[in-house]
A and B are shown apart, each in its own frame.
Chain A
Amino acid sequence: MKNGLIERLQKVIPVEWLNDWERDEIFSHLTYHEPLVEKAVIEQLGIIWPISSALCFYFLDHLKNGLACLSTEQLPDWVKGILDVYEADGLQAARRYMDDVEGNFLCRIRGEKGLTLAEIIPKLLPYIRGLSRKTLDLQPSASLHTDTNTLFLPREITSPANLSHNFYIYKLLASFLWAGIEQDIYCQQQTDPETLENFILSFEDQKLAMACYHLLQTVRVADFLKAYLPGLIRDGQTFFRRLRKEADLTDISPETGDGFAAVRSWLLAHCANDPLPELSGETESIIRKVVASDTHHKEVFAATTNFYERVRCHQEDFTLPCPLFFQGELRPQEARMARLSRREEHKQQFIKALAAVIPSRSAATQTEAEPAEKNQAHEVSESGASVSPMHQDGKKEKPEEDRQDDPRYICLDDEHLELPEELRHVAREIEDDLGAVPSFYIASASQMAGGRGRASGINLQPEEGLPLHGGLLYDEWDFRRCGFRKNWCSLIEKRIVPAKGTFVSHTMEKYRGQILQLKRQFEMMRTQQRFVKRQKDGDDIDLDALTEAYADVRAGLVPSERLFVRLQRDERDIAALFLVDMSSSTEGWVGTALKESLVLLSEALHSLGDRYAIYGFSGMRRSRSEIFHVKDFTEPYSEEIKGRIAAISPMDYTRMGPPIRHFTMVLKDVDARVRLLIILTDGKPEDYDDYKGEYAIEDTRHALIEAKAAGIHPFCISIDKEAQDYLGHIFGEINYTFINDVKKLPLRVPEIYRTLTS
C-alpha cells in the first residue's frame, strides 16, 4: 500500500525533493482517502509543490475541510483559485482563502459574486472622507490594516448574504480602521512616535502583548463607535451575534474562560447589544478603565500590562486566537513611517507657504538686518521664545474646547501675521501631530523669505545679454525690483500638424454616454429662453409697463416707450480661451487626460455655441517661449481641429507669463461681454533658466493681474497634488480649482466651465 503510494507520488514530485519527514507528513494526510480521491489529490500536489512547498502542506491541512464540501472534479478549480490568491497576496491570504471554501469558492461558481473593493471605492471613498474630514485613501490588500494615511481593505468580500450586506461589511471595516486612527490607538497624537513600539518591546512575549493591547483598544474603539455612529453598530447586530457564536464565545463564565475570551465575548456582546457576559471582577475593571470616556493612552498601557499578566498567569501555554474579523492587524511600524513622511510633507508645505506670505522686506533693510536675523533664527530654534505660534486670543496654548478652530495667527518678530486659509489648515495638522508648530519651522520660513533676494539671487541673476528682438516680445515682472524687465521674453507661435490616428474617436467612444449627457446639459444652457420686459417692440404687450406708462401719463409725466415683452434666447456672449500646459511633465496620463478633456469640452461647447479657442504653451528659456495654435475663435470645430488636439504632445517647460500676456492682448480685441482665460496645467510655472520658485510665481501672478485689469477673467484648473499652497496666491482664492484624480479631469473640465458661466 505504502509502496504504491510512493510510486504514485514520485511521478508528480521527484523523490529527491522530499525529505523523510515531509514524505511522512504527506502520507499521513493521504492514507485516509479513497483511491480515486487520492489520485486527484496527488495530481494537485504536483501542481502546488513546485510553486510553494509550504502552501502544499497548508493545502493538505485544509484538504479534509475542502473535500467535505467539494467533489473530486471541483478540486482542480479550487486549487487554481488557491494559487491565484497565493500569487496575488501571499501565503496567509491563500490560507484564509482555503479556510472558507463555501464563501470563497462555492458561492462564486454558483454565480454568487462577491463585492470587490474596486467596485465600491467611488462610494466608500466619499463616505470615509466625509467621516474623517481628511484625505484618507483606500487600497486593496491581503490583510486589513492601516498606516494612518491609507486604509487597506480586503480585495473582495464574499459572504453568503446579498451584496448590500457585503457593502455594509466594507463600511464597517473602514469605519473601524478610521475610528482606530481617530481614537489614536497608534499613539500618534503624542509627541514621541515610538511610545507604542517601545511599550510593546518591554514585554517578554511581545506577540501576546500586542494582541492584548489591540484587543483592549478594539474594545475602546467599538465603544466609541457605538456612541458616535450608533446606526452603524446597530445595523451590524446580527453580524456581531453570528461572529460571537462562531467563535464559541457565547457561554463564558467568570470561572472558566481565560481573560482573553472573556473580553472578546464582552466586546461582541456589547456591539450586538446582547446581555453582557458575567466577568470576573478583575477583567471587568480592566474593561471599565479602557472604555472610560477620557481614557489616556497611559491608562490603556497600564490596563494592557494588567491584562497581559492575567492572561499569562492564567494559562502558561496560552495560544493566541486569530484576531476578530473586523479588528484587522495592528502595524505600529507602518503607522510610524507614514506619520514621519506626513510630518516631513507638512513641514515642507508649511515652510514654503509661510515663506510666501511673510512680507518681503526691502533690499536695503534686508542687508542690514541679515546678521541679526540669522542670529535670531538660530536663537529661536533653541529657545523657541520670540517666534511662536499664536492664536487669535493671544494665548499660546489652545484651550481644549477650542480645538475646532485652526490657528489663525503667527507671531513673528512681535508682528502678528494672519495666516491664509490653506496655511491654517496645514498648521492645524502640524499641531495635531506635534502639539504645536515648532519654532524652527517658522524660523526657516522667515529665513527663506528674508533671504529671498540674496540667496535665490545667485541663481536668479538674469542671463547677461541684450533684450531680444524677433518674435513677439513681452515684458516680465521681477518681483525683487518691483518692476518689469523690458522686452524680456520672445514668444513664437507655432502650428500643430494634425495627427492622423484614433485618439479622438477612441475618446468619443470611451465617453460616449457622458458626451451625450454633456451635450444635453450644454444645449439646455443654450436654449435658455426668457421674456424680456420693457422692450420697444416685441411679441406681446408688457402689461406692467403699460399700466405704469398710463399712470405716468395721468400723473403728468412723459410715459416710457418700452411697452412690449419679447421672448429672447439668452445671449451667451462669452468668449473662452483655453490655454493648455504642454510641458514635459504632462507626459503620459496627465497629457492624455488633458487631451481627452479638450475633446469633451469641444463637443460640449460645439453644442452650446460659445466662442472658444484652444492654444498650447511651452518653451525653453526666455528666448523661446512657444505657443501652439490648436483652434482660434473663428475656426469651426472640424476634423482638422480634432487632429490637432490629438497631436498635442509634451514639449519643454512651463513659462506661464509670456503666453498669458500674449492672450491677454488677443482676448482684449475679442468683442464679448465675458472673456475667459482658462488655464489647464499640472504644476507650477517653471523654466529651464532662472524662471523658478518665487520669481516664476510672482511673474505669473502679475501677468494675471494684468489680464484682470484688461477685463479678462482668468481661471485655473490644476492637477498638481501640491496645488493648494500657491494657486490661491497666483489666481486669487476663488479663481482656481484643483482636481486630485487625473481620471476625473475630462469630465470635470466641461462641468467647471458650465458652473463658471451660468
Chain B
Amino acid sequence: MQIAGQKIEEHLIHERPFYLPQKNEIIIAEAAYKNGIPLLLKGPTGSGKSRFMQFLAWKLKRPLITVSCHDDLSTSDLVGRYLIRGGETLWMDGPMTLAVRHGAICYLDEVVEARKDTTVVIHPLADDRRELAIEKRGELLTAPPEFMLAVSYNPGYQSILKDMKQSTRQRFIALELGYPPADLETEIVSHESGIEKQLARLLVRIAEMTRGLKDSGLQEGASTRLLVHAGLLIKDGIEPREACRVTITQALTDDRKLLYAIDEMISSVL
C-alpha cells in the first residue's frame, strides 16, 4: 500500500503577493499562528480574504492549500480516499490531511457553503487537540506546530441555512476584512490593474457609491476585485464607461432600476 499525493512544494508561494494591510490583521494572524489557534476571516466578497491568506503563507513561509467549499464537498474530499492504480490500491491524501502532514496552511474558502456534517471534521483539528482522524486508515494525525487552519465566510448572506454553527465558529480567532479605506483601495486597484492612480481613485469612488445602495436593495456593493477587473479592461483599451458597465453594473444586480442608477453613477464619475 502506497501513499500517493500532490507534491507539497507546489503549494509554496515564492513571490511576495501584493497585499496592503488594512489594520493590524497581519500581526494578529501571526499571533494566532504562533499560538496554534485557527483563523476565521469574515468579509464581503472580493475584499481580499484569499489574497490575505496568500500573503500570510508567504510571510510564514508555509505552503498554502486552498479548498473552495461547495455543498457536495464530502469528508473524504477533505481527508482522502483510496484509489486503484494498476491493480494496486493507493491511499490519496485529501487537502486537509496533506496540510496536516506537512505543517501547511489549510484554507477553507467560503466554508458555509459546505454541508454542516462535513465541517464537523475540522472540530478536533480546530481546538487544542489539533488532531485529524483518518478513519479509513485507522490513523490519528496530530498537527505539527507549523500547521494552521483558516476558514472564510461572508456574513452578508442573511440566509439561515448558511450560517455557521456556534460550535464551529467558537473555535476561531475572527478577523473582519471589510473593504479597504479609499486611499488604500486606490493603491490596490492601481497596482493590480496597472492603471493610473487618478483613474483608480475614480473607480473607487464608483464603488463607494454602490456600497451606499444597501438600503435601496443592492445586496452588496462593488468589491475591490470588480474594480480591478474594470481597471484591467480599461488598460486593454476598452472605453472606461463600457468597461465599468460590464464589470461592475451587470455583475452587481439584475434589477433594472438599480442597473440604471449604477450606470448613471458610472457616467457621472468617468
Contacts and interface: CB of A to CB of B under 8 A. Distances in A.
| B partners with A | yes
Interface of A: 122-127, 129-133, 135, 171, 175, 228-232, 235, 404, 533-534, 547-548, 550-552, 554-555, 557, 674, 676, 713, 715, 734, 737, 740, 755-758
Contacts of A557: 82, 136
Nearest to B135: A557
Given A126-B213, A126-B261, A551 B268 contact: no
15 contacts: A123-B264, A126-B216, A126-B258, A133-B209, A229-B269, A230-B269, A231-B268, A404-B181, A551-B83, A551-B89, A554-B82, A554-B84, A676-B160, A734-B155, A755-B159
A229 B84 CA distance: 63
Interface in B61-95: 72, 74, 76, 81-84, 87-91
B212 A131 contact: yes
Nearest to B155: A734
A721 B88 CA distance: 69
A132 B212 contact: yes
Given A130-B265, A171-B264, A551-B90, 15 more contacts: A122-B257, A125-B261, A127-B264, A130-B209, A130-B211, A230-B202, A231-B268, A232-B269, A551-B83, A554-B87, A554-B89, A555-B1, A555-B91, A557-B136, A756-B159
B257 A126 contact: yes
Nearest to A748: B217
Interface in B130-178: 136, 155, 157-161
A131 B209 contact: yes
A135 B90 CA distance: 62
A175 B72 CA distance: 49
A590 to B, nearest CB: 19
Interface in B216-239: 216-218
A130 B161 CA distance: 30
The 5 lowest CB-CB distance pairs between A and B, nearest first, are: A551-B82, A133-B212, A126-B261, A130-B209, A232-B268
B266 interface: yes
A127 B215 contact: no
B42 to A, nearest CB: 12
A38 to B, nearest CB: 50
B179 to A, nearest CB: 11
B265 A533 contact: no
B46 to A, nearest CB: 18
B267 interface: yes
A555 B4 CA distance: 14
B216 A129 contact: yes
B33 to A, nearest CB: 25
Contacts of B155: 734
Contacts of B90: 551
A135 B262 CA distance: 17
Contacts, number: 115
Given A127-B265, A171-B268, A756-B158, A231 B241 contact: yes
Contacts of B88: 554
B209 A231 contact: no
Contacts of B84: 547, 550-551, 554
B205 interface: yes
A548 B270 contact: no
A183 to B, nearest CB: 16
Nearest to B259: A123
A697 to B, nearest CB: 22
Interface residues of B, number: 47
A541 to B, nearest CB: 16
Contacts of A674: 160-161
Nearest to A757: B161
B257 A548 contact: no
A229 B216 contact: no
A756 B216 contact: no
A709 to B, nearest CB: 12
A404 B76 CA distance: 46
A130 B76 contact: no
B212 A129 contact: yes
Interface string B13-28: 0000000000000000
B19 to A, nearest CB: 21
B37 to A, nearest CB: 22
A517 to B, nearest CB: 12
B208 interface: yes
B72 A230 contact: no
A422 B80 CA distance: 46
A734 B205 CA distance: 27
Nearest to A170: B264
A552 B82 contact: yes
B261 A127 contact: yes
Contacts of B217: 126
A557 B138 CA distance: 11
B270 to A, nearest CB: 5
B266 A231 contact: yes
B70 to A, nearest CB: 12
Interface string B100-125: 00000000000000000000000000
B44 to A, nearest CB: 14
A130 B160 contact: no
A393 to B, nearest CB: 12
Nearest to A171: B264
B60 interface: no
A677 to B, nearest CB: 11
B210 interface: yes
B207 to A, nearest CB: 10
A175 B159 CA distance: 36
Nearest to B255: A126
Q: Which among A122, A533, A756 has the greatest number of chain B C-beta atoms within 10 A? A: A122
A78 B241 CA distance: 42
B64 to A, nearest CB: 26
Contacts of B241: 231
A712 B265 CA distance: 42
B246 interface: no
A388 to B, nearest CB: 24
A547 B90 CA distance: 11
Given A124-B261, A230-B269, A554-B84, A133 B208 contact: yes
Given A122-B257, A123-B257, A133-B208, A175 B268 contact: yes
A548 B212 contact: no
Nearest to A676: B160
Nearest to A167: B264
Contacts of B76: 548
A554 B160 CA distance: 43
Contacts of B205: 228
A130 B158 contact: no
B269 A231 contact: yes
Given A131-B209, A674-B160, A757-B161, A125 B82 contact: no
A730 B94 CA distance: 43
A624 B267 CA distance: 59
A554 B86 CA distance: 12
B212 A758 contact: no
A715 B159 CA distance: 11
A59 B229 CA distance: 58
Contacts of B212: 129-133
B267 A231 contact: yes
A552 B81 CA distance: 9
B232 to A, nearest CB: 20
A404 B205 CA distance: 14
Contacts of A123: 257, 260-261, 264
B31 interface: no
B123 to A, nearest CB: 21
A717 to B, nearest CB: 12
Nearest to B218: A126
Nearest to A121: B257
B182 interface: yes
A534 B81 CA distance: 14
Nearest to A758: B159
Contacts of A715: 160
A757 B158 CA distance: 9
A547 B92 CA distance: 13
Contacts of A122: 257
A238 to B, nearest CB: 15
